[in-house]
Structures are given as structure tokens and as C-alpha cells.
Chains A and B, each alone.
Chain A
Amino acid sequence: MLDASIRNKYTAVIGLEVHAQLLTNSKMYSSDANEYGNMPNTNISVITLAHPGTLPKVNKKAVEYAVKMGIACGSTITRDNHFARKNYFYPDLPKGYQISQDKTPICVGGKIEIKLKDGQERSIGLTRIHMEEDAGKSIHMAEEVDTLIDLNRAGVPLIEIVSEPEIRTSDEAYAYLTEIRKLVRYLEICDGNMEEGSLRCDANISVMLNGAKEFGKKVEVKNMNSIRNVQRAIEHEIERQIIEIEKGNTIVSETRTFDATVGDTHSMRAKEDMNDYRYFPEPDLSPLIITEEYLNEVKAKMPPLPNELYKKFTKQYGLSEYDALVLTDTKEVALYYDELCSLTKNYKAASNWIMGPVKSYLNELTLSIEEFPVKPAQLADLIALIDANKVSFSVASQKIYPELTKGTTKSALEIAEDLNLIQVGDQDFIQQVVDEVLAANPAKVQEYKDGKKGLLGMFMGEVMKKSKGKADPKLASELLAKSLD
């Protein structure tokens, strides 16, 4: 571990490049399937295999998804787009070039708003978001003399989201990636699964003395398959660079790979040996013009975004930041809560219900909220019953809610009536129950009178049990105390 006094002399400068596989049906430039997990080399076409004489054609949906991401990040959408060839040789790239965007990325600028653990908020600027295609998969196996090539992934549409070098800590990088994953999931343009590689991240990291004007030499770190591992890799790389500099060594620009099992990084190649990609305009694709009309069409299709809902939940519904963050974690839960709040005014109770009984029900059965059998209207009705003192919370959560989760069309009130659970505020009824309870426990009554006042809770429990939870607890405890004294 690096001594904090040394560590604190340095500032880290981090920029992230995130690749997101788009959830289209077909590929970026050809109509073979974009589908994960199929038998090798079954999602292929002559275009994917780069047969001579074949021509690519841009997937409309992929463009729409890239534009959506740009709108969500507040980027400027480029009106005149063209595609570019990025040339390099690798066996999983059949054409010998990747069709990407170079001079005209579809989105320019914009930002990602992040929230840190200590509640601080920051915004991280974006350089650009551009469209491109994925490469195939090379499988290197120790016992094989050959490398095996699977081209199912070749040509899958990607957006690459490039941040400005404005990230300063691994915590910020963690929050940034979490936010990007949330965004692409809200937009339903990428499933955000880092373990399966549908969301990937490379980190550019350098360190400099605090207050320095010039950034240090940057090192690119690859091969992190979870957000947590990105954080670990950055943390490790910052320390490694500081230790090297403190030893009097210079940092070389290079690409390093992260080893998740030990948590350190190894050099892959020096930047000088890196490819010269010789970008040039793709002659096989016509320019892509984004019109005002098209932009407005896409804007009209935008779902509510996590930050908008977060603001609504904290400002309009008065939730705590923590509650709002939990409820906006996925769009589906956030929209369920929002709908619930259009049916009840007790926003806090609505949030407690979702974060409590609803979440635990879903977790227990590993369901998503779309599969949740209780409709927001039914839950709102249940909250109204509690608020009107018709049932206690415990009766609601233990008797009525389980009935609702069985998937009924009945309202909470109908269930309460069917099961005879409506709380009785009738003094005569409750007095009668109190009398019965006291008559049935003469010994305990004597103990109470001898000073064991703690028994009141026991009597209360008996009253509630005998009334099947229907006695208004406030009235019951008043009558009980009066009868005993």
C-alpha cells in the first residue's frame, strides 16, 4: 500500500472509453442476426464474411439508438455524418477494416451526471459518441495449434462513448459507469451486461503532481469485465504509476491488461508499436443526414430518464435522496412508483411499500416488476385503507397484501371485506373483547395490578388476536388501560 502522504501529492486524470452493443435485431451494416450465445458462425452473411462485391447498408435502428443516447446525454447531434474505415489486420476482422466514424461522430459533447457515495454530484463531460461495428471473437486455446474464429459478433452495432479526461478518482469512474449502464438500460438500447461483454470499458489513466499544468503520460488499461473491476484496475494503476514516478522512473505510454484474479495490470504493447489506422471515408456508404424532423421524431420517443425521475421523486414527492436513488435504479420500478403516486397522495407510504414488501416479494421469487401481480391501483387502494384507519399496517401487509400477490382482480377493500378484516372503531365491540380477555386471564390481571405494568403489551396482543386484528389499536389500548386501572 502506498503511503497516503505520497499518494495525496498526486492527482489522477482518467478518461473512459465505453463500448455498448446495441440491442438491434440485425447487425450494423448487414441483415444477419445480432444475437448472443448462438452456435459459432451461424449469424453470418456474405457482408459479415467480407466476400468480394458485397456492400454494407446502415441499420436504421442503430442510428436511432445512437441518437437517443446523444439526446439523453445532452450532446449535439451531428447533422452531416459519414462513415470511415479504420484499417488494421486481425483474423476476427474479415474486411481488414472496421467501419466506424472518425471526423463526424454522431454525437459531440454532452455530459453524464454522477452522484458519489458522499452525496456529492458532479458532471463528467463527453468528447463524443460514435457508431461502429464489433469484431468477431478469436478463441485461443492452449491445446490447439490454431486460433479459432467465430464471426457471430462481427458486425454487431456498437456505440463508443468517449469521456473527457475529467474523471479524478476510481469512485467517480465507478459512478460514471453505473450511470451509463442505467442510461442505456432506461433507453433500452443495450442490456448493459459487462460480464457478457455487451458493455465494455477501457480506461486511460495518468497521474500528475497536484496543480501541475500538464498531464502525465497516459496508460490504457483493458480487460475489465465488471464495474467493480474497472474501479480496482484504476486504483491499482494510479498507485503503480505513482510508485514508478517516486522511484524516479518515467511512465511509458502503453496498453496494459487487467488481471482480475490478482488485481494488477501487465503491459500488452507499447504505443509506438500501435497500429496506424489510416482512417479514410468509407466509399461504400452514403452520407447520413439527420434532419430536424427526424430529431424531433426521436425526441418524442424518448422515455423518462433516471435523472428526471430522480428530480421528480425528490422535489415533487418529497423523497429522500437515498429513496429516490433506489427507486430510480431501474426504469420499470421507477415507472411503477410514479404510477402509484398518481393514484395516492401518500408518496412516502408508496415508497415504503415498494422498497419493503414489493421488493422482498420480487427478490424472493426473482421476478422483475413487470411480472409483479399487484397493479398500482390495488396497492394505492391498500394504502388508502391504512390511511383511513380501516386496517392496520400489519393486517394490510400480512393478510391483504399476500392475497393481492396471488394475482386477483379484487380490490384491497374487497379482500378486506371478504376476510372480515375491516378494523372496528366501535367502542362497545372493543370493550367486549377487552372484557373477555381480562376475564380469561385473572392471574395476569392480578400480576399487573401488583405492578407488572409490562403485561399491557401481552393484553394488547390478546385483544388484537381475539378481534382478528380488526380492533382499532389506539382505541383498544385506551380501553384496556382504563379497564385495568
Chain B
Amino acid sequence: MSLIHKEMKKVDHDTLKKMAHLSRLEFDQANGEKMINSMNEILDWVEKLNEIDTDAVAPLITMSEEVNQLREDVVKEELPHEKGLQNAPKRDSDYFRVPKVME
């Protein structure tokens, strides 16, 4: 994970800005310091886990014992066009419409 380095670099203002950007969230600048503090508290708390030696433990990737839950390659008409579009905030008869994206 690139946000939280091994040595547990403290969250600073740049990190906060980056996280806000990555999650596409806005935050109130006045609350910035408070948010930085509570994030650091979370990190400190999670840091407790590093006290346990896990070198010999394989990473736990899934909680389930199941493997190879595969699907046959068969097409099912699951969602009609009109139904698929019906909850869109903005749409036309063919497309979902979103605010203009600039590349």
C-alpha cells in the first residue's frame, strides 16, 4: 500500500489532499487539522497489529474455503435496456449522461 508506508508515515496535509482526490470527495478546509488528527489516531491504533510477528503467516486473502466458483459461458438476458436506464440521474433514450469528461 503506497498511502501507508511500512514505517507508518503520519498523515499530513498532502496525504489528506491526495486521499480526497482519490476518493473524489471534498472536505471542509477548516476541518483539515481535525481530520488529519483522527486519521493519525486510526493509524496508531492499526499500528498495534505490527507488534505481532506475522513473518511465517501467509496472507489471508479470502475468508471462504470455496474455490473455483465458475460460471458457464452462457448469455442470459438479465436486464432490459429501459430498466437498466430507469434509475439514471440523467439519460436519453440510448445513453447514460454524465457531466462532460475532459481528457
Binding site for B on A (CB under 8 A): 24-26, 30-34, 39-42, 44-49, 57-63, 82, 87, 89-91, 138-140, 144-151, 268, 275-276, 278, 281, 283, 285-289
Most chain A CB neighbours (cut-off 10 Å) among B3, B74, B84, B85: B84
Q: Is B94 an interface residue (CB 8 A)?
A: yes
- Enumerate chain B residues within 8 angstroms of A148, measured Cβ to Cβ: 92, 94-97
Q: How far is the CA of A277 from the CA of B46 in the complex (A)?
A: 22
User: Smallest CB-CB separation from A268: which chain B residue?
Assistant: B103
Binding site for A on B (CB under 8 A): 1-3, 18, 22, 24, 61-62, 64, 66-79, 81, 84-85, 90, 92, 94-101, 103
Chain A, Cβ-Cβ closest to B102: A140
Please report the C-alpha to C-alpha distance between residue A33 and residue B77 in the assembled complex, in whole angstroms: 8
Residues of B within 8 A of A91 (CB): 96, 98, 101
Instruction: Give 12 A-B contacts (CB < 8 Å), ordered by A residue.
Output: A26-B76, A31-B78, A40-B94, A40-B95, A41-B81, A45-B78, A45-B79, A59-B70, A82-B61, A140-B103, A146-B98, A147-B100
- Establish whether residues A146 and B97, one from each chain, have CB atoms under 8 Å apart when the complex forms: yes
User: In the complex, which residues of chain B have a beta carbon less than 8 angstroms from the beta carbon of A41?
Assistant: 81, 84-85, 94-96
Q: Which residues from A are CB-within-8-Å of B78?
A: 30-32, 44-47
Contacts of A33 in B (CB 8 A): 75
**Complexed CA–CA distance, A375 and B32 (Å):** 78
Known contacts A45-B78, A285-B69, A286-B68; can you find 6 more A-B pairs with CB under 8 A?
A25-B75, A32-B79, A57-B69, A59-B70, A149-B96, A283-B62
Complex Cα gap A47–B76 (Å): 12
Is B61 touching A281 in the complex (CB atoms < 8 A)?
Answer: yes
Whether the pair A286, B96 counts as a contact (CB closer than 8 A) is: no
Residues B74 and A286 in contact, CB atoms below 8 Å apart: no
Instruction: Return chain B residues, CB-CB under 8 Å to A89.
Output: 24
> How far in angstroms is the closest Cβ of chain A from B94?
4
Chain A residue nearest to B24 in the complex (CB): A89
Within 8 Å by CB of B75, from A26, A49, A82, A278, lies A26
How far, in angstroms, from A34 to B75 measured CA to CA in the complex? Answer: 8
Asked if A44 contacts B76 (CB within 8 A), the reply is: no
The residue on B at minimum CB distance from A61 is: B73
Please give me the residue from chain A that is nearest to B23 by CB atom: A89
A25-B74, A49-B84 given; A44·B98 CB < 8 A = no
Q: Which residues of A contact B92 (CB under 8 A)?
A: 148
Q: How far is the CA of A268 from the CA of B103 in the complex (A)?
A: 8
| Chain A, Cβ-Cβ closest to B19 | A276
